[in-house]
Structures are given as C-alpha cells and as structure tokens.
C-alpha cells in the first residue's frame, strides 16, 4: 500500500516563515525529501518567532517547529558566487524548487527559473508571493494580514460592529501554501515534467471565497459581514444556550420544522414571517431571538445531543485546546509525538489519510545547517572544502 506517494521526489525549500515552509511541509509529510536551504546567518526568520523566548534565542522557535519537521537543513549564501554554483548543482538532481522571495529577487541573484531549469529542464519551479509575479501590485510587501485586507476577507469577517476583522490565524499564508503544494503535486504527474508555477496568495484566498465572489459577480449581491450567521439559510448560525454557544444548521425545511417542534415552538411554523426559506432569511435575527428563548433553558451539551438525535445538525463551539483533546481528534491521530533531542514535541501531521494511515513527521525539525555535511558531501565537497566554505560564510 502506498502511504508516501511523493517518495523519491526531492524538493529544495528556499522559503521563509510560513506560506512556503507550510507548502514544503505538506510535501515532506507525503514522502518527499525536502532540503531546506537557509541563509547561514540565522536561517529562516521563523526560527526566532513564537511564544517561547528561550526557543527563539536557540533558533528553534515554535513558529519554526510547526511546519519544518521531516526536513533537512543546509546553509547557503545565495549572494556569493560559490553559493550560487552550489544551488545550481543541487538543482540538477532536484524535482522541485520552492521560493517565496519578492518577485524578481531570484532573477537578480541569477538563480531564476530560466537559469535553474537550464540546469534541469524537468525541474518544477514554484514561486509563492503575495500578489503574483506580474501586475501593478507585484512589488508591494505582502504579509498575511496585508493579504487578508486586500483580498476582501476582512471586510466580510465579523459583524456590523466589528468588521473589518482579521481571521484569527494566518489564513492567507496557509491557503497560499496549500495551493502551492496542490499545484506542485499536479505538476509532478505531468508528462513531460517541468513547469514554472506562479502562486499568488491573494488569488488563492479569493478562489476560496467562491460563493461570496459568485454572489457578487452573478447575482449582484454585495458581500456583507454577517458575523456568525449563514448567509444562505436560516435558522443557521450560532445560538446562545444556558451556558455556551452552539452552532445549528437547519438549512433544509424538514430540519427547520423539526427544530421548531422539538423546542416546543410550533407557533413559529404558522408565523408568516418564517413560512419560507427567504422569509426566514429576511427575518433571521427576530427568529434567532425567539429560538434562544427556548435554547436558553438548557446547556450546550444537552442541545447538541438531542438536536442531532432528531436530525437537526448541531455542534459545540470549541476552543483550540478543547478540540485537540476530543476523542475524534485523538482517535484519528492528527497530532503526532516527535522526538526532538531530549523532549517530545506534539506536531500536526498531514490532513490527508492515505490508505488508512496518516502521514506524520518522522524526524524532528532540523537545527540550522544540521545536514550540511551529508548534502554538500554528496555533491563531492571534501571536509576541507566545507571548512573553507564555512570560513568564507558561504555555508
């Protein structure tokens, strides 16, 4: 059974912080050999980021740990002539190069796709950037929060009082990285192999907003920040109970009727304000208030059980800590224990289960340059060569 579909694929990871490292982490989890190429002075900036100051100082920040397990690390100064030559040599035996520098940086280093693919015509060169390699925005700085703002995501997140609101995790970086991993996996199956992939984080995010974009372009419906309400149906959203909020998705007429009856609110079924889906949508907040009168008599756990039992989709609103502790997450093995020196790290595995097995990282996130001897030695460099390169600051 194939559980590592990318086994035998070599990826050069020239990326930094999140979008690119997350992309390459997904490839590593699926079996690719990922060689992380980092600057000798400090490496990936994420090594210095995270909630633990001591780890940051040691160059193993939690932000780095999150998406770099299972990779190798080498150091290389891409501005040095010998550093450029070494990267070109690595590219000859690589299947994929991934970078997330600003557009034009690799070309100015004389290491752009034309140069590297002249060394290896079957190479897949993937560039991840905020806005893409072309267009009037291409040279603008593009951090996750910038992309969340310009993509329209913030304008529809929150409600009338809180929007525009940032999504509570680096949405754009992560979606951009996953889009790049998907594109690379597709390009690896092409015959003949070889491609230049231009991944815009902004376009990746907009692509995921399909219903919102289509409602605007096709239906001429102006997107709005609707908080926890489902714009397509009602009652569908977040509701208060006696203790904690719950989500109810009574999107079908039969679910709506069952909900009303089970709450003892048959009167609502006869109310013309709620007689059709469109009426319920138009009067959603009045309907929400009526339902919460009854939902407020019992706690969230009660309603989640009894409403699901009668066929009304209902779920709790959990914290990150709570969901990771559930039997569902623990039982499916999303979080793996990875030995890192004298400690055990808990890290997320692949979101994909392959033939009943979840790919998880098999080795710890690498210390900076820990694989220099192996990788550069395989190119024919002697111990003396590597000592000289270290003294010159090339590796």
Among residues 144, 173, 198, 371, the one annotated as catalytic is 173
Q: Which of 208, 100, 199, 198 is nearest to 153 (CA)?
A: 208
Give the integer Cα–Cα distance in Å for 382 and 386: 6
Q: Which of 122, 135, 98 is nearest to 18 (CA)?
A: 98
The percent helix, strand, coil of the chain (3-state, each to 5) is 40, 15, 45
Provide the 3-class DSSP secondary structure of residue 100: coil
To which residue do tokens 């070309």 refer? 107
Give the integer Cα–Cα distance in Å for 258 and 265: 10
Q: Are 4 and 329 in contact (CB under 8 A)?
A: no
The beta strand positions in 187-245, using DSSP E, are 195-200, 236-239
Q: Which of 94, 118, 113 is nearest to 103 (CA)?
A: 113
Q: Which residues contact 230 (CB under 8 A, 6 or more apart)?
A: 236, 237, 249, 251
CA-CA-CA-CA torsion for 52, 178, 69, 189, nearest 10 degrees?
A: -170
173 is catalytic: yes
Residues catalogued as catalytic? 173
């Amino acid at each position: 059974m194939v559980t590592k579909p990318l086994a035998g694929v070599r990826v050069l990871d020239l990326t930094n912080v999140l979008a690119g490292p997350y992309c390459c982490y997904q490839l590593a989890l699926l079996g690719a050999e990922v060689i992380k190429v980092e600057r000798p002075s400090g490496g990936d900036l994420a090594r210095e980021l995270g909630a633990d100051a001591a780890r940051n100082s040691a160059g193993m920040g939690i932000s780095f740990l999150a998406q770099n397990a299972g990779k190798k690390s080498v150091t290389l100064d891409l501005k040095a002539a010998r550093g450029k030559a070494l990267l070109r040599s690595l590219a000859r035996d690589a299947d994929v190069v991934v970078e997330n520098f600003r557009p034009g940086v690799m070309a100015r280093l004389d290491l752009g796709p034309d140069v590297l693919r002249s060394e290896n015509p079957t190479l897949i060169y993937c560039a991840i950037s905020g806005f893409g390699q072309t267009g009037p925005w291409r040279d603008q700085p593009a951090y996750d929060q910038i992309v969340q703002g310009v993509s329209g995501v913030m304008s529809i997140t929150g409600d009338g009082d809180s929007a525009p609101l940032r999504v509570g995790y680096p949405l754009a970086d992560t979606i951009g990285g996953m889009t790049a991993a998907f594109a690379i996996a597709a390009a690896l199956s092409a015959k003949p192999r070889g491609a230049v992939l231009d991944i815009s984080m902004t376009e990746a995010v907009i692509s995921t907003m399909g219903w919102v974009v289509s409602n605007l372009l096709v239906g001429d419906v102006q997107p709005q920040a609707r908080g926890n309400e489902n714009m397509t149906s009602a009652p569908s959203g977040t509701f208060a109970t006696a203790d904690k909020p719950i989500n109810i998705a009574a999107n079908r007429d039969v679910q709506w009727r069952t909900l009303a009856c089970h709450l003892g609110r048959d009167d609502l079924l006869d109310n013309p304000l709620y007689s059709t889906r469109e009426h319920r949508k138009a009067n959603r907040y009045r309907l929400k208030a009526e339902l919460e009168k009854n939902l407020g008599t019992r706690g969230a756990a009660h309603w989640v059980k009894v409403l699901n039992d009668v066929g009304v989709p209902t779920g709790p609103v959990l914290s990150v800590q709570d969901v990771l502790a559930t039997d569902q997450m623990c039982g499916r093995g999303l979080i793996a224990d990875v030995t890192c020196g004298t400690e055990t790290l808990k890290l997320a595995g692949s979101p994909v289960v392959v033939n009943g097995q979840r790919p998880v990282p098999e080795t710890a996130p690498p210390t900076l340059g820990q694989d220099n001897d192996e990788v550069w030695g395989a190119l024919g460099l002697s111990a003396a060569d590597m000592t000289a390169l270290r003294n010159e600051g090339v590796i």
